[in-house]
Amino acid sequence: MQETIGTEIPSVKNLVSAEEWQARVDLACAYRIVDFYGWTNVIANHISLRVPGKADNFLINPYGLMYDEVTASSLVKIDLEGNKVIESIFEINQAGFVLHSAIHAARADVVCAIHTHTEAGMAVSAQKCGLLPITMAAIRFYGNLAYHEYEGVILDLAEQENIVKHLGDKYAMILQNHGLLTLGRNLGEAFYLMYNLEKACRSQLAAMASGTDLNIPEKSILEKSSAQSWLANNRFTEMHPTWPALMRKMDRIDPSFRT
């Protein structure tokens, strides 16, 4: 299937800048890595990446393809109004446009946004307690996690105002009764945050399932540990060091994302 998809989609490499092509390769790899970790929801959900040098343009997945079929050339480039900047045979997910356009329009610091509907993420999003600071992965988000109340499928442009308001200046958000969202000043940061948020949700469900009392560190320790985590993140505003390693992994598995 990978080869069929690749040969049916004409390459756009000669139609875009070298910087945009690299961004496309990175984003296509992100879709493959998310699929590898099992965070997909058939053809739903979305990851967006701002086009280098084009603040009002971003790349998003073609609606109808599985994540393991996404390639650099199949990604759809749209503006903040949802118009295609480069002609594409694919449409885009309306919910993806509403969510990601709101974020990219409001947050100039955000280069990448990742949204998932994993079992663990949805389960924690349905818990009134929210994410509990009971593991190092979860403590990273202590004081740095936003929440957005469920308003239905994100199809209404009117919801964008609440999304932006609830998000504030945070880089991670739980969409209540819905799923998870992480942002990044680069793709690697957004992915690493999602990796930790997903692991935190999985760990919380496992700990709660044990039926024993949960240990929550003192507030001073929570604040210290969270600050330490974000200090590390702030060192890598250009590209998080996990990203080249993840790309090497996907190149070993299936490098067709690069077409």
CA distances in angstroms from 63 to 25, 90, 121, listed in the order given = 18, 6, 22
Question: Within a domain: residue 257?
Answer: no
Q: What CA–CA distances, in Å, run from 185 to 40, 89, 126, 130, 135?
A: 23, 30, 28, 25, 25
At 253 the pLDDT is 97
131-156 mean pLDDT:
96
Query: Is residue 10 situated within a structural domain?
Result: yes
Whose CA is closest to 121, among 201, 237, 227?
201
The rounded distance, in Å, linking the Cα atoms of 100 and 72 is 19
Phi, psi of 133 (to 5 degrees): -80, 65
The pLDDT value recorded for residue 1 is 39
Task: Give the model's pLDDT for residue 82.
Answer: 92
Could you tell me if residue 197 is inside a domain? yes
Q: Give the number of domains in the chain.
A: 1
Average pLDDT over residues 16-44: 97
Q: What is the mean pLDDT of residues 78-85?
A: 95
Is residue 163 scored above 90 in pLDDT?
Answer: yes
In-domain check, residue 258 = no
Q: Which domain holds residue 114?
A: 2-251
One-letter amino acid for residue 59 of the chain:
L
CATH number of domain containing 36: 3.40.225.10
In a domain, 80, yes or no: yes
- Does the residue 158 lie in any domain? yes
User: Can you point out the beta strands (E) in 82-210?
Assistant: 112-116, 146-148, 172-175, 179-184
Single-letter amino acid, residue 29: C
| Domain-located, residue 26 | yes
- 259 in a domain, yes or no? no
Burial (Cβ within 10 Å: 0-12, 13-18, ≥19) of residue 62: buried
pLDDT digits (tens, 9 = 90+) for 211-258: 999 999 999 999 999 999 988 777 766 778 899 999 999 999 999 999
